[in-house]
Structure 1
Amino acid sequence: MKKILNYFSVDGAVGGNQEWFKNVVMYIGGCAAATACDCCIYLALRRGMEHLYPYDVHALTKQDYIDFSMKMKPYLRPRVNGVNKLWMFTEGFENYLKDVGETGIEMEELPGTEDIRTAELFIRQQVDSGYPVPYLMLRHRKAYYKDFVWHWFLCYGYEEREDGLWITVATYGEMYTFLLRDLWDTGYEEKGGLIGLKC
């Protein structure tokens, strides 16, 4: 079983890229805002919710994406410890949506303390319903995931393999695939989690 959403590219990148940001604070800590920007672009393109994106969603450009990130910055502003709680993302993103006149999107938080089966089901249900899944990972015991530590990224697909559920994610303008069970088992008490969207 495999399901990959019809994602989008910006100037050849998979989704947007936080490393494009010229604002130093956003370059270092703008991953939550970038994830929210990518959600808006996806929903504008695939769900017809074009009011979520203030530019031409059918002609995506790197500069428009950078400008959009600065509009999102006040809602999901980088801070000393980052946007390191699920409620910070849902609260900030809801405020943005409300300000652009969108009140029909609901969000559900799934803490990283939940078991792996619950996380797998959550991702399957979201992707099967046509929604990407914002994912927050804080620490991880494996150095392999060092670029994803204290980081928000967007899951937009999954594949059932013999060894478990593999997820497809976008961040830094690239596509990655991870075994969810391995990614979910961070080895630390402080957990991130997932955000579910529904409209």
Structure 2
Amino acid sequence: MKAPAAHYSSSASYSEFQIPLFLLISLLRRSQRQHVFLQRAAFNTGVDMAEKSSLRRLKRLLPAFAAIDAAIEAATGFSRDNIRRERGKLLEMLCDIITDNDSVELAEGLCQLLDEAMVLALKRLRVVEATPTVLATTDAIKAVAGLRSHESGRVRGLACSIIGGWTTSINCDISTGRAILVKLSKMQKAHKALRVPGRRH
């Protein structure tokens, strides 16, 4: 049975679809038991995709948490070890779920809890004084910038807000620094003009 050409791209040959089409017809004629098997296989495929999504999210969050914690500790001088331990429990649970092929809904729920933990970390980072030295000696800029494309809208919004705030602050520091340099230059010129010939300064 030749499939109607309208169902496929004009650039594709019939041979590309011939085998899948015959397999589909054969599967439709098989027993209900096999149909249930195919449904389970499709579900497992969905689980695999969900696991990969969770792993991708986890891969992005882990270094971001580490960088943000380091920046907060550098700015405040207070340890975040207790927060790391509590957050580590969520990470262990998520890894166990992914490894054991457990509920997709449970994995997504834990990912949302980790997103909430990231929201709290970003809120804390936003209110601490992240000096140029802190930003230069940690990976906070790279970590927060990467979160601007995160799945959670709240995480994305906070990340964009923090990057915007840092940019404004650094630009202000640069402007202030330039103004100070101009004043120092003027003072130096005035000092030279007041020098008395023959007198050591």
| Greater fraction of residues in strand | 1
More contact order relative to length (CA 8 Å, sep ≥ 6): 1
TM-score bracket, normalised by the shorter chain, equals under 0.3
Higher helix share: 2
Give the TM-score normalised by structure 2: 0.24
- Larger radius of gyration, structure 1 or 2? 2
Task: Provide TM-score, normalisation by structure 1.
Answer: 0.24
